[in-house]
Amino acid sequence: MKVVIAGAGNVGSYLAADLHKAGHEVLLIEQDPEVAERGANLGVEWMVRDACEVSALDAAGLASTDVVVAATGDDEDNLVISLLAKQEFAVPRVVGRVNHPKNHWLFNQTWGVDIAVSTPHLLASLVEEAVSVGSLVRIMQLESSGAHLVEVTLAPGSPAAGKELARLGMPREATVVAVVRRAHVVVPRGDTVLEPGDEVLVLASPDSEDAVRSLLVAEAEPSGTSLIAMLSDAVTGTDPAGVAPSSTGPAGTGPAGTGPAGTVPGA
């Protein structure tokens, strides 16, 4: 697999090294000559160019690249690189690094991003998964469909405890993809009976999440829920009233406005 990584900082360098060890063809693009020298020590190809320029991406061979990773420390640059990779070179898979959590909403297919990686959001999901029992936790989002992979650790009072999967009444837009029970993966079947403590992974559309929650989550939430809410608010920028950051941005900016010429908030 051929991978082009824009940005030879700590994230880009370590990613390049791991992929190279795994046997993939890796090219690092970095506009700072001093930073780019790290690529020489990694044993991967590297070039000193501005990855936001079409000519640089063309010289990097994006037309024959399988994956592009926009891993610079600037969200605006990562969006431009992602958009060019997808629109100008039709790269099959584009991964965008999100540096500022408030910019996460921009990293979608409108900007050419197939997978958005935000460290704060990943940490929040891992914390939620570790401390919450009986709560619906989003693990990841599939940008192409908008569906979410969600996880629920069944509490003793869960309405699903003791029931067969076929009798749950799961909505058509959702499906149980795995059940983890005492560190073992159980392949879900219609006659699989759910037990308290089971970690149930469900692939669900946004419209079906409420129905999935009502089927798997007990009405009385655990005391840790307020802590999780505060952690989630801290990394997503939601205010105390529960109002999420605007996804429209300033007038005439971002994908809803003028495209790549728009201003990235907080960048």
Q: Provide the CATH number for the domain around residue 138.
A: 3.30.70.1450
Around 126, how many Cα atoms within 13 Å sit in the side-chain half-sphere?
Answer: 6
Confidence category of residue 33, pLDDT binned at 50, 70, 90: confident
β-pair partners for 93 = 67
What's 56's domain CATH number?
3.40.50.720
Tokens of 165: 């999967």
Angle at 237 between CA 221 and CA 103, to 5 degrees: 125
Separation of alpha carbons 225 and 80, rounded Å = 38
Residue 23: inside a domain, yes or no?
yes
For residues 90 and 170, state if they share a domain.
Answer: no
Residue 267: inside a domain, yes or no?
no
Residue 253: inside a domain, yes or no?
no
Around 32, how many Cα atoms within 13 Å sit in the side-chain half-sphere?
Answer: 8
Residue 236 has pLDDT above 50, yes or no: no
Residue 223 has pLDDT above 70, yes or no: no
Range of the domain at 199: 132-218
pTM over 0.75: no
Cα distances from 34 to residues 15, 31, 40, 46, 75, in angstroms, run 18, 9, 11, 12, 21
For residues 23 and 107, state if they share a domain.
Answer: yes
Residue 96 has pLDDT above 80, yes or no: yes
For residues 57 and 142, state if they share a domain.
Answer: no
Residue 133 has pLDDT above 80, yes or no: no
Confidence category of residue 183, pLDDT binned at 50, 70, 90: confident
Residue 66 has pLDDT above 70, yes or no: yes
Residue 165 has pLDDT above 70, yes or no: yes
Separation of alpha carbons 242 and 245, rounded Å = 10
Torsion of the alpha carbons at 27, 30, 34 and 38, rounded to the nearest 10: -30
Residue 264: inside a domain, yes or no?
no
Give the type of residue at 111. W
pLDDT reported for residue 258? 43
pLDDT reported for residue 150? 85
Separation of alpha carbons 30 and 20, rounded Å = 17
| 140-160 pLDDT, tens digit each | 777 666 788 888 888 888 999
Residue 258: inside a domain, yes or no?
no
Q: What is the mean pLDDT of residues 209-227?
A: 68
Residue 255 has pLDDT above 70, yes or no: no
**How many structural domains comprise the chain?**
2
